[in-house]
Structure formats: C-alpha cells, structure tokens
Structure 1
Amino acid sequence: MKKGFNILLILCAALVAISCSKTKSYTDMLKDEKKAIERLIDANDFEILDDFPKDSIFKENQFVKLENGIYLNIIDKGSSERAVQYKTKMLYRCKLHYILEVDTLVYENYGPHSNGTYPIPFTYGDYSNSNPYDPSYQWVSEGLQTPLQYVGDRARVKLIVPFKRGTYYDQSKGLPVYYEILEYIFEENL
C-alpha cells in the first residue's frame, strides 16, 4: 500500500513540475515585452521623446512615453470636444498588431470600406472586462483609452500599449500591442 502511494506521489510531483515549467512567469513576460517593444522601435526607427510636444504635433515617427508606460503619437487631434469619463459613448476603428514574436496583423477594421466590419463600442472610462464573452475582454483597455485626455472626436493616433495596460486578454497572455492607427468616434456625432 505504501509503495503504491509513494509511486502515485512521485508521479503527481513530476506532473506538477512538468506543467509548471511551461508557464511564463510575470518577470519573463515583462522581459519579453521589453525586447518586443525595443525591436518595434528599432525596426521602425521611432524616436521616443522625453516630453509631450508643446503644440501636440508629432512627426510621423515620434512617440512620447507617458507616465503609465504607453507610447503615444498623435496623427490628428480631432475636434476640440473631449470625452467625459463614464459618460461618453465611443466607437473605435483600428489596425493593430501583437508584437511579441513576429509583427503579425491581428485585427483591422480601419479603412474606406473596413471589409464590412463595425467599429468597436465602449464607454470612456470603462476598462477591460474579465468575462471572455464580453467584447471588452479582448477589445477595450486602459491603454486604448489613455489618449482621450489629449484628443477629441475623429482623432487618430498611434499607440504602443504594454500588456499591463492592455485588455484583460492581453494581460493574461502577456501581449503588448501596437496600434498602427486608431481612430476615435463619438457615438453622438455619427
């Protein structure tokens, strides 16, 4: 009896050791993210500014790193009307890439015809949801909403969003995201 129990105990310990080794630690995810962001910046010759430009006008390859770790480039500030947290209903269209391994286009609903896709709705200030059946689980985040304090309706920006500021899905997988273009649309102005 003891011999059978010891064998079972050894097998369980081996299974736990094997299964744990396949999971990345948070530290490993942060290291991988840092390398991926540096690779993206180098490959595209992005210039990282220390300060936000006084006139809010960025050159095509300039980004500012904000206090929360997000890299921002404003293409077009849009209207002077600003979103109000927890009140303004928004839509967005984008072209995004997950940049961890290879720059692979994951999602695009931006463009003249947008391939029959719809803009993604959200309320400014409501961040990612942990319910995988809720669209915000994979499509809405703090990082995506950060530029709204600087821009208005119909604004277009570029963003590099570290996974800890990404959607619940991005956070769970350790996936930083590059928004090649992101356009905000105030629902009331459609």
Structure 2
Amino acid sequence: MKKLHLVLMLAFVFGCFLQSCNDGKTYAELKEEEADAINAFLAKNDIEVISEEEFLRDTVTKENQYVLFDDNGVYMNIVQRGVGEKLGDGSYEIHSRFMEIALQDRTELFASGDTLLANMHWNDYPSAQTDPETFRLDVSGDSYSATFMDRSKMASYYESSAVPSGWLVPIPFLKISRTTEASKVSRVKLIVPHSQGTMMASQYVYPCFYEITYNLGR
C-alpha cells in the first residue's frame, strides 16, 4: 500500500511539473496541440501518409511518402535503405549525421521550424559539418536499445546518453554498412512525437523532424 501511495504521489508531482512547464495546459491539451502541429507539417509539405500494413507489403516509401507506425506515432520516409545487411543480434557502433528541427513553438525556447541541433551539412546550415554522432546499438530479437558515446552533441545538449526511441524505429528496415559513399549510406526522414523523442521533447511535449544517416563504425 505504501508503495502504491508513493507511485501515485510521484505521478501527481510529475504531472504538476509538466503543467507548470507548459503554461498551465493539461497533458491532454498539449498532446492535442502536438497532433495539430504534426498534421500542419504534413499538409504544408504535401506529405502522403501510408499505413503500416501497406508499408509492410514491400517496406518501400516513395518520395515524400511516409509510413505512420501506429504503436509509437513515428512517421518514417526511407530515403536510402543502404547496401549492407540487416543487423542481427549483437552490439554495433553506429555513426550518424542528423538534423533536428522543432515542429512546434515553445515560448522562450524556440519557434516552430528552428534547427535545434545538427551535424549534417546542407545549404541552409553550412557550418554544421562536424564529427558524426556515435552510439552503441544493442540488438536482441525485436528489441533495440542504444546509448550515445563520447563527444556526443545530443548527450551534451540534452544531458542524457539515451538515444531517442524514434531514432531506432527505422533500423529493422535498413541495410546499414560501413561506407564512405554518400549514395550507399542508410538515410531516413522522421517525424517524431514527444514520447519517442529527447528528454526535453518529452518534458515540454513537442514533435521534431529529423533527417538521419546510419553508418557502421568499428
């Protein structure tokens, strides 16, 4: 009984903390606003959404076509599957380049469309070319977990070594290899809701757009 009381108290305190960090709105209201922000992004960019059932017929997404995974709310577009093999059980060092863009305003933190973090070179952010993010990926059957390694921008900025769950969603559908050829690197675009994102996204309840590459390290 004491343990149940403690759990309920912690849930209440966490709920109050979330509410104070988000202008007094309830969690349900914040999730509804997040869904609106994602739908607005889909409409603005004329993105076609397909079901997971349709995607699993061939595990291919066309240009500007995203699959929605019902169990986690992540939207995925496979830009390049890669040329390696699907990763089996084991531990892997993964090198990634990415950009992270907020899809919703958060007062005094950032505005919708702001680039939050990046180490991928592209025209609008030419200074972003730095060392890749490196994380240790562990695969066991259908279970995937990962931890950022030394000199990680994500771990430093968000003060957490945990790789966002949304980053791991594409891995079962990719053929990740060790390559220096851009055309052979596994690459995806993602829309990640707060529940699958960083600790800050979870705290403030906002979605992000990601473009991420996956390359085998040592």
TM-score interval w.r.t. the shorter chain?
Answer: 0.7 to 0.9
Matched, 1:71 2:75: yes
Determine whether 1:90 maps to 2:100: no
Residue equivalent to 1:149? 172
The residue number in structure 1 matching 2:200 is 169
TM-score when scaled to structure 1? Answer: 0.75
Q: Highest Rg: 1 or 2?
A: 1
Alignment partner of 2:97: what SS?
A: strand
- 3-state secondary structure, aligned to 1:36: helix
Partner of 1:80: 84
Partner of 2:132: 119
Question: Which amino acid letter does the alignment assign opposite residue 25 of structure 2?
Answer: K
C-alpha RMSD over aligned residues = 2.8
User: What is the identity, as a one-letter code, of the residue corresponding to 2:38?
Assistant: I
TM-score, length-scaled by structure 2: 0.66
CA contact (8 A) 1:76 1:157 kept: yes
Distance change in 2, residues 1:108/1:76 (3 Å): same
1:41, CA displacement in angstroms?
Answer: 0.2
Change beyond 3 A, Cα 1:185–1:148: same
**1:131-169: CA deviation from partner (whole Å, max 9, x where unpaired):** xx9447288200011100110222101100010011222
Residues matched between the structures, number: 166
Cα distance between partner residues in 1 of 2:40 and 2:186: 27
| Counterpart residue identity of residue 175, structure 1 | Y
Q: Is the 8 A contact 1:46 1:63 kept in 2?
A: yes
Q: Is the Cα–Cα contact under 8 Å of residues 96 and 215 in structure 2 kept in the other structure? A: yes
* Match 1:106 to one of 108, 116, 128: 116
Tell me the alpha carbon deviations over residues 67-105 of structure 1, each in whole angstroms, 9 at most, x when there is no partner: 321101101101232335661111211122110132222
- Asked if the contact 1:163/1:174 (under 8 Å) is kept, the reply is yes
The gaps in structure 1 that reach 5 residues or longer are 1-15
Question: Residue 147 of structure 2 contacts residue 162 of structure 2 at CA under 8 Å; is this kept in 1?
Answer: no
Q: What is the percentage of aligned positions where both structures have the same residue?
A: 26
Cα distance in 1 for residues equivalent to 2:37 and 2:147:
24
Q: Is the 8 A contact 2:81 2:187 kept in 1?
A: yes
Q: How far apart are 1:127 and its partner, in Å?
A: 5.9
Question: 1:116 deviation in Å?
Answer: 4.2
In the alignment, which residue of structure 2 is the partner of 1:184?
Answer: 214
SS at match of 1:149: helix
For residue 133 of structure 2, what is the amino acid of its counterpart?
I
Counterpart of 1:56 (choices 42, 54, 59) is: 59
**CA distance, structure 2, for counterparts of residue 30 and residue 85 of structure 1:** 35
